[in-house]
Amino acid sequence: MSPSIPLQEMIRAIRSARTQCEERGVIQRECAAIRAQFRQTDSGARSHNLAKLLYVHMLGYPAHFGQMECVRMIASPRYSEKRVGYLGAMMLLDEKQDASLLITNSIKNDLSHSNQYVQSLALCTLACMGSAEMCRDLAPEIDRLLRASNSYIKKKAALCAVHIVRKVHDLGELFAPAARSLLVEKNHGVLHGAVVLITELCERSTETLERFRKIVPDLVQIMKGLVISGYSPEHDVAGISDPFLQVRILRLLRILGRNNETASDAMNDLLAQVATNTDSTKTVGNAVLYETVLTVLDIKSESGLRVLAVNILGRFLLNNDRNIRYIAMTSLQKIVCTDHNAVQRHRGTIVDCLKDQDASVKRRALELSLALVSASNIRTMMKELLLFLSSCPPELKAHAASGIFNAAERYAPSQRWHIDTILHVLTTAGGDVRDETVPNLIQLITNTSELHCYTVHKLYRALLTDISQQSLVQVACWCIGEYGDLLLKGECQETEAAQVTEDDALDALETVLQSHMSSPATRGFALTATMKLSTRITDNVDRIRSIVSIYGSCLDVELQQRAVEYNALFKKYDHMRAAVLERMPVIEKNSMGHINGESAGETVKEIQTATVKKAEPLLQQQPANQVCDLLDLLGGSEEPLQPSPLQGSTAPGLSINTTSTAGGDLLDLLGGLEPTPLAPVTVYEKDGVTLTLHCEKQSDSGLTVTLTASNSTDSDISGFTLQAAVPKSVQLHMKAPSGDSLPARGAAKVTQMVVLNNPNKVSLKMRIRVSYTRQGSAFQDTVQVDSFPAL
Amino acid sequence: MIKFVLMVNRQGQTRLSRYYQPVELSRRAALEADVVRCCLSRRKEQCSFVEYKDFKLVYRQYAALYIVVAVTDAENELSVFELVHNFVEVLDKYFSRIMFNLDRVHVILDEMIQNGHIVETNKSRILAPLTALDKMADS
């Protein structure tokens, strides 16, 4: 048996072990020695052995064989052994171990020991690992100690009471009066303990909270004493009397003042005093100020005080110590929603913090900046944010990009600025933006028809410089395809035009097609764009034809399908090509593929249905099965049309209901169908929009319904669409509406005719969905018509 | 409340650990290693507060020793920052005369922090029981 070595030497031996293996060897030897020593009943060095065991335990090695030794040592009369025994109990035992039951008795005895240090050991251990039964057993004892003992014991008893209350909630009642009486003590340790106990009691139950509201004046008194008292050698840290106690009291005041007017009023003066008098040159002072600010912002304080609090936070932001800047940011973030104006005043400093070195400060600054963007400061803020985006750490890029998009969408001062901003973001952080950015941007571009020329030029130039950012390339391809003629025309008011020939444009698109950096979706965009150019350019149609036929045998199935279909368009349906590939109509936000119930942007289907419109001016609105029915009228489709989710190359969901371009002129064929005015029934009236319905029987089972809409508000309505659904056996055909905008005050109306065929004579019901845009926001509503006047 | 206190050296070896919320033995080593890695990898310009999982770490470096205190979200970080410094000052005062002894450090820590809350911050009051203990041990 190797001789046991003192703790220090063992520590030295372990530290000098060069490898893990060596260390384990040393420890195993020591543990064996300790175990042997434990087995001996009498040994003078028991405490040393247990101490060594605790050290070993701290390093992570198993030490459960020491538990019984702990129990034995706790029962020993010698203080040094008791001390180590209790320490061992705190570290090795918890309430799940059986051995912990054995020390209950020892603790009970020691609580009434004559030596206060022994009492404190027992209190300490009970507070650390006391189980619920032990707590219940010993609670009266603790209460007695809280009332009548010296201050050293009182403060420990207070914290022991905290543990008891946590374990056994009901005992909170027992300690409340004692806690109250402790507040008059002078000793700061006891005060501190009392405040912690009261905080715990208040957090546990609301009735205790109500009762303790009465002590707010006492707390205010104590705080005043601390703040004004000046230098106190006993409880002083860098010139501030007992900052820890101050912080604790402030926190309790916060809990008591929350949602309560009277309590908050009582604290107002004190908080103002603390805020102004505390010296903020040292960190301690700032700690107290921080707690004060948190309290002020949480209770029902008066506005002057709140402004003072926000100003303190603003001062923190200018502090050299980054810790203080960080917590200022965190607090400002919590209040930016409620005290928006106050925080706006410090916007400059916050924006400066975007350039801070520390990553957490940067993240906070970004979130705060995004929250502070408003219509008035959008331009300056965006400049800063874009600058930040180019230099920010990668983990923040996605968040920053989406934040910028949101802000731009809400507060864009002009369309051109909006488009510029989005383009800037795509060039700097294109890889991190979300997928829906592409369709959003495309929709935005189509909406600003006056900027088409400018946009396409800009995008073309961007495409030439860099084809690695997929989102940017997709948008650029789409634009070139769509507005290629504007690009080739070579003149533009907004930006200097580059002299782009047809070959250049086709070269650019081909580069995208062939580059290995392009994703399959991007290549799909490029191919469709190439195809669209075939109607926009005059000379190089053959080149396009050859490109398209090459890709007819491409390995990528998606590209191959498109290429084959386009080939067919060249060969068999050349007469339709111009109509099929003409300009896209303006897309509305609402019709992103949801209304038609199809997945976003099923290009070829849309093209086919557009050709259907040539054949018959019929517009359908409900899902795919109706489309297929109509397609049969074409004599079958040339390729099996699986619903391929073509990635929005023509941008989501051609809103078939509102195309006035393709179907419009053909409706003249329908010419003579005027609705005979029968008693019009108002079926829908809300927000100034009125919808009336006329019915006219055409035949035994046929019925023509005319829906008329008018707008009586003061603002124009655009993008007005109607959709209708009827019971299954009834056939419904919706004709093209007369328009889609309702000017204000009923200046014009929109009419739409619906032809119904009810062969089975079921009871006719119709559900109509109304969607429109007014003042930039979209509205949608549904109304059910259960009875038709003509029937 | 305070969840745990750690003292580690620059190589990441634990010199002292005290848990105020039960954490299983098997998970302690991994937790300590992770926390230490978090703190040691920070540069000088970064602030001393780290958000780690669902609580916060406050750390301070003294020469070759790092003291890390984990606190719940509701705590005032600056206050804990000061507490760490207070603790070091107490240690300094005590161990300037006596050789460093680990169980004494535990006693001091127990006098200062109990059950996750601050008990006493006054240096002489903290050291009073220890000096009494020393006198008892000598006599």
Question: What's the mean pLDDT in A719-737?
Answer: 81
Q: What span, in angstroms and rounded, lies between the C-alpha atoms of A163 and B50? A: 28
The answer to whether the Cβ–Cβ distance between B102 and A322 falls below 8 Å is no
Rounded to the nearest angstrom, the minimum Cα separation between A121 and chain B is 9
The answer to whether the Cβ–Cβ distance between A94 and B22 falls below 8 Å is yes
The answer to whether the Cβ–Cβ distance between A322 and B22 falls below 8 Å is no
Q: What span, in angstroms and rounded, lies between the C-alpha atoms of A716 and A695? A: 28
Contacts of A244 in chain B (CB under 8 A): 79, 82-83, 118, 121
Q: What span, in angstroms and rounded, lies between the C-alpha atoms of A313 and A754? A: 64
Among B15, B46, B89, B127, pick the best mutation site for testing chain A contact (most A Cβ within 10 A).
B46
**Could you tell me the two tokens for A139?**
């609670």
- Does the CA dihedral A166-A172-A177-A178 come out positive or negative? negative
The pLDDT assigned to A454 comes to 79
Contacts of A233 in chain B (CB under 8 A): none
The answer to whether the Cβ–Cβ distance between B79 and A287 falls below 8 Å is yes
Residue A529 has pLDDT above 60, yes or no: yes
Rounded to the nearest angstrom, the minimum Cα separation between B129 and chain A is 7
pLDDT tens figures, A576-602: 777 777 777 776 665 443 333 333 333
Per cent of chain A over pLDDT 70 is 85
Among A323, A330, A362, A395, pick the best mutation site for testing chain B contact (most B Cβ within 10 A).
A323
The pLDDT assigned to A655 comes to 35
The answer to whether the Cβ–Cβ distance between A188 and B86 falls below 8 Å is no
The pLDDT assigned to A671 comes to 38
Beta strands A750-757 and A731-734 are: antiparallel
Per cent of chain A over pLDDT 90 is 0
The answer to whether the Cβ–Cβ distance between B76 and A287 falls below 8 Å is yes
Residue A729 has pLDDT above 80, yes or no: no
Q: Which of A58, A248, A323 sits opposite B47 (nearest CB)?
A: A323
Contacts of B132 in chain A (CB under 8 A): 117
Please give the model's pTM, rounded to 2 decimal places: 0.61
Question: What's the mean pLDDT in A153-178?
Answer: 86
The pLDDT assigned to A609 comes to 39
Residue A166 has pLDDT above 60, yes or no: yes
Contacts of B22 in chain A (CB under 8 A): 94
Contacts of B118 in chain A (CB under 8 A): 192, 196, 244, 248
Q: ipTM of this model?
A: 0.71
Question: What's the mean pLDDT in A155-159?
Answer: 87
Q: Is A490 left (phi over 0), alpha (psi -120 to 50) or beta?
A: left
pLDDT tens figures, A74-114: 888 888 888 888 888 888 887 777 777 788 888 888 888 88
Q: Which of A7, A54, A60 sits opposite B28 (nearest CB)?
A: A60
Rounded to the nearest angstrom, the minimum Cα separation between B25 and chain A is 7
Question: Nearest-CA residue of chain A relative to B6?
Answer: A58
Q: What span, in angstroms and rounded, lies between the C-alpha atoms of A453 and A462? A: 14
The answer to whether the Cβ–Cβ distance between B119 and A159 falls below 8 Å is yes
The pLDDT assigned to B99 comes to 63
The pLDDT assigned to A646 comes to 38
Residue A525 has pLDDT above 80, yes or no: yes
What average pLDDT does chain A have?
Answer: 77
CA-to-CA separations, A314 to A317, A342, A439, B22, in angstroms, rounded: 5, 10, 41, 39
Residue A620 has pLDDT above 60, yes or no: no
> Which of A698, A662, A656, A470 lies closest to A581, judged by CA?
A662
pLDDT tens figures, B58-90: 988 888 888 999 998 888 888 888 899 989 888
pLDDT tens figures, A251-272: 888 888 888 888 888 888 888 8
Question: Nearest-CA residue of chain A relative to B78?
Answer: A287
Residue A497 has pLDDT above 70, yes or no: no
The pLDDT assigned to A643 comes to 35
pLDDT tens figures, A309-334: 888 888 888 887 878 888 888 888 88
Check: CB of residue A193 under 8 Å from CB of residue A155.
yes
> Which of A443, A475, A463, A451 lies closest to A510, judged by CA?
A463
Cα angle: B30, vertex A88, A14; to 5 degrees: 55
The answer to whether the Cβ–Cβ distance between A59 and B14 falls below 8 Å is yes
CA-to-CA separations, A431 to A472, A522, A645, A763, in angstroms, rounded: 9, 13, 22, 55
The answer to whether the Cβ–Cβ distance between B125 and A324 falls below 8 Å is no
**Could you tell me the two tokens for B137?**
């041990």
Residue A69 has pLDDT above 60, yes or no: yes
Q: Which of A79, A237, A326 sits opposite B49 (nearest CB)?
A: A326
> Which of A291, A246, A109 lies closest to B74, judged by CA?
A291
Q: Which of A87, A160, A359 sits opposite B103 (nearest CB)?
A: A87
The answer to whether the Cβ–Cβ distance between B48 and A155 falls below 8 Å is no
Among A7, A64, A81, A244, pick the best mutation site for testing chain B contact (most B Cβ within 10 A).
A244
Residue A631 has pLDDT above 60, yes or no: no
The pLDDT assigned to B5 comes to 92
pLDDT tens figures, A538-588: 777 888 888 888 888 888 888 888 888 888 888 887 787 777 777 777 766
The pLDDT assigned to A676 comes to 45
Cα angle: B55, vertex A255, A283; to 5 degrees: 60
Among A12, A58, A245, pick the best mutation site for testing chain B contact (most B Cβ within 10 A).
A58
The answer to whether the Cβ–Cβ distance between B82 and A243 falls below 8 Å is yes
In this predicted model, which residue has the larger pLDDT, A635 or A704? A704
The answer to whether the Cβ–Cβ distance between A51 and B137 falls below 8 Å is no
Q: Which of A79, A155, A247 sits opposite B136 (nearest CB)?
A: A79
The pLDDT assigned to A405 comes to 84
The pLDDT assigned to A350 comes to 84
The pLDDT assigned to B69 comes to 92
Q: What span, in angstroms and rounded, lies between the C-alpha atoms of A460 and A210? A: 69
Q: In the structure, what pLDDT confidence band is assigned to residue A472 with cuts at 50, 70 and 90? A: confident
Residue B94 has pLDDT above 70, yes or no: yes
